[in-house]
Amino acid sequence: MKLASVRIIAGNIKQMVAFYEMVTGVKAQWLAPVFAELVLPGAVLAIGSVDTVPLWQAGSSEPGANRTLFLEFQVEDIEADYARLKDQVPLVHELKTMPWGNETFQFRDPEGNAISLYMPATEEAKRRFAGR
C-alpha cells in the first residue's frame, strides 16, 4: 500500500491553494475549478472545495472542523523556513526540538488545520531519516 495523497476540504479553495503554494513553493495543478493538487516529493496534497463533498456523500466532511490531524513537511533548513514564514502564518509554537529529535515549528492554515515544518536535528533523528 502506498500513501498517495492527503486531501483537505476547503470552504475557500482559492485562499487555501494560495496559502499552500506560499508555504511549499510549489505551484498547484488545477484539475477542475473545485479541485487542485500540489505534487510534492513523497505525496500529493490535494485541496477540494466544499462543493466536492456531495460527490462522496453529503455532509461527510466539514471544512475547518479537524483538530486531530497535523500535516508535516520535512524541510532542509528549518531556520530559513521559520524566518521566511513566521510573520506570514499564525504560529502555534516557535522553533523547538521535540523529544524524538526533530526541530520544528507549527502554525495553522487559513481554515485552522495544523501544519508542522521540521527537520531531523539530533544524530539519532538524522540516522532514522537517512533511509527514507
pLDDT tens digits for 19-76?
A: 999 999 999 999 999 999 999 998 999 999 887 776 677 765 677 777 778 999 999 9
> Apex CA 72: angle with CA 52 and CA 123, to 5°?
165
C-alpha cell at 12: 475557500
- What is the location of CATH 3.30.720.120 in the chain? 1-54
Of the ranges 13-22, 106-115, 122-131, which one carries the lowest mean pLDDT score?
Answer: 122-131
Return the CATH fold of 69-132.
2,3-Dihydroxybiphenyl 1,2-Dioxygenase; domain 1 (3.10.180)
Share of the chain above pLDDT 70, in %: 94
The pTM of this model reads 0.89
What nine digits make up the cell of 91?
Answer: 504560529
* Residues 95/78, Cβ–Cβ less than 8 Å: yes
Number of H helices, E strands in the chain: 4, 8
Please report which residue ranges of 1-113 form alpha helices under DSSP H.
13-24, 53-56, 78-85
Stretch(es) of the chain classified as CATH 3.10.180.10: 69-132
Residue 45's DSSP bridge partners are 6, 38
Q: Any idea which fold 1-54 has?
A: 3.30.720
